[in-house]
Every structure is written in structure tokens, then in C-alpha cells.
Amino acid sequence: MSDYSSTIDLAGSVYLQPNYFQIQKRINYLVDYYLSVEKLRDRLEDLPHQFKRPQPRLWQSIDWYAIAPTQIIGIDKQTFLSILIGTINTEAPIRNYTQTSRQYLTKIHPQMARFVGGIVDENGTLLEPGLWEKEERQHTPALIKIYQHLTGEKITPQLPSVKPYQPSDNPYEDLYLHGLHRTMTEYGATCLYLWLMAHTTGALQQVFAELVQDEINHMTKFWGFGVWLFPESYLTRIYRSLCRFIVQQKSTQLSHFQSTKN
Ligand SMILES: [Fe+2]
Ligand SMILES: [Fe+2]
């Protein structure tokens, strides 16, 4: 049976060889559905419940054996696989991501620290992973499975180095900068998986639908938490960061001047 027996999939109308405008139409359809105000509100209101009783979001069952190269639409298979490999590598070091975030959060909001990074003992040994990790750690194996079903080959992730916890004397500001980065990476993952949904159909698209729902869930929670914890306007924070940067630069110049004078 053809993968295109149905002309409608999760991104709306299916086109065999879509043009730019047809892909845009599919992306808009996905944005309207997955990023609706109702869905974002639901994900944000879920956060306090997850503090009390953490429950990973369950995935719909996927027919992995139905995944086939014919389900890639609008891009060539090689380009698709290159994007897939990059995504596998980026998703892979999830334990390092969660533990770095936990360290930035621990002093400021222990409940959110537990949500992202779980519970550790006094030696730093992980006793229980956080909910964020439990959901995210499914992503790399799912992407690896896609690669195997499309190519018949196994792939091992190449782990990138992860920026470690680097505290300053201002944990509140450290968390702001770290949290902003985390929120943006969840936002980036959301955009990527929506884009991949627009370029796929069938069982292949269903996997990206699960991935994107996890990313939207995390992005919304991180973003909402950030807005609650840092209510000052973005411009105020940029102004303060700039002032701090100028002071740092001046003190560096001064110490350099003194060391060359001595
Ligand atoms: Fe992910
Ligand atoms: Fe993520």
C-alpha cells in the first residue's frame, strides 16, 4: 500500500513533491495545532502537578517497521540523514545537560532542580533522574531507530562536549543566563521537529510528533518558570548585563595596565 493513500497527515495536506509554499502551509498547520494557546496553557499548568507527582508523558504506540524512505518528502534522503545524525549527537548527552541545570537551580528553586535533574546524594551520585531527563532520554534511541529503519545500518552517537556548571558569586544571575540558554535549546528543538514533521509523513512523522510534544512541554515549562522567576523586562536585564560587562572589561584593563607597569 502506498504511504500516500491518505492525502491528509498530521501536517495537513500531503504533497509528493511539495514546493516552498506547500511546505510553509504544512508548517503553519503544525504551528496552529501544536502551539495553540490552549495546549501551551495546559503544559504550563501541568508544572506544579509534576512537582508533587512526577509522571512522564506517555507516547502513542508507533509502528517502527512501517518507517520507510518514501515517507521523507520535499528533501533528499541524504540531507535528511545528515540532519538526523546531527540531531542524534545533540540529544545524546542528556545526563550532562540535566545535571548542569540541576546545579544552577538547586539553591534557588529545589523543586524545579528535582524536576530537571532528579535527586543526588551528598557525593553527587544520582539516586533518581528528573522528569525532564526521563522524557528526554527516549529521544536519542528513537532517532537511532529511525536511522536504522531508513538505512539498515546501526549508528553510534558522537557525544559533543557539554558546558559544565560554572558558578559565579551571583547564583541568581547564573541561573538566568543558563535558563535562557536551556529555554532557547528547547525552542530550537521544537522548531526542528516541527520542520521535520512538515517533511515527513506516516509512521516516520508520528515519531517526530512525539518528540515535538516533549520539546513543547519542556519549552513551555522552562519559559513560564523563567518569566515567573525573572519578571523584569528583557531590556532591563540586557541593560544590567551590559553594565556588568563594561565593569568587567574596565577591571581587566586596569589589572593588565598594573601588571605591565610593574
Ligand atoms: Fe530532546
Ligand atoms: Fe529538549
pLDDT tens string 75-85: 999 999 999 99
Let me know if residue 238 belongs to a domain.
no
pTM: 0.88
Could you identify the residue written with the cell 501536517? 11
Nearest CA to 107 out of 229, 235, 234 is that of 229
Render the burial of 38-55: b for 16+ CB within 10 Å, e for the rest: eebeebbeebeebeeebe
Digit-coded pLDDT (tens) for 23-44: 999 999 999 999 999 999 999 9
With 0-12 / 13-18 / 19 or more C-beta atoms within 10 angstroms meaning exposed / middle / buried, residue 132 is buried
Residue 24 lies in a domain: yes
Residue range 117-167, pLDDT digits in tens? 999 998 889 999 999 999 999 999 999 999 999 999 999 999 899 999 999
In a domain, 138, yes or no: yes
11 Cα: distance to centroid of ligand 2 (angstroms): 21
Residue 235's pLDDT band, with cuts at 50, 70 and 90, is confident
Give the chain's domain count: 1
- Domain membership of residue 188 (yes or no) is yes
Confidence tier at 207 by pLDDT (50, 70, 90)? very high
Mean pLDDT of 64-89: 97
Distance (Å) from CA 184 to ligand 2 centroid: 10
Residue 243 pLDDT class (50, 70, 90 cuts): confident
* pLDDT confidence tier of residue 1, bands split at 50, 70 and 90: very low
Residue 68 is assigned to a structural domain of this protein: yes
Residue 79 lies in a domain: yes
Question: Which-ligand-closest: CA of 193?
Answer: 1
Mean pLDDT of 104-123: 96
Residue 92's domain spans which residues? 8-231
Ligand 1 centroid–CA 193 distance in Å is 9
- Neighbour tally for 94: CB within 10 Å: 19
**Ligand 2 center–CA 36 separation, angstroms:** 19
**pLDDT value of residue 116:** 97
Residues 6+ apart with CB under 8 A from 34: 194, 212, 213, 216
Residue 20 inside a domain? The answer is yes
220 CA → ligand 2 middle, Å: 11
Q: How far is the CA of 149 from the centre of ligand 2 (A)?
A: 23
For residue 136, the CA-to-ligand 1 centroid distance in Å is 5
Total count of residues recorded for the chain = 262
Cα 12 to averaged position of ligand 1 atoms, centre (Å): 24
How high is the mean pLDDT of the chain? 92
Q: Is residue 260 part of a domain?
A: no
Q: Counting ligands in written order, which one lies closest to the CA of residue 185?
A: 2
Q: Distance from the CA of 226 to the center of ligand 1, in angstroms?
A: 19
Closest listed ligand to the CA of 142:
1
Q: What is the C-alpha to C-alpha distance for residues 67 and 63, in angstroms, rounded to an integer?
A: 7
- Quote the ligand 2 centre to 258 CA distance (angstroms): 46
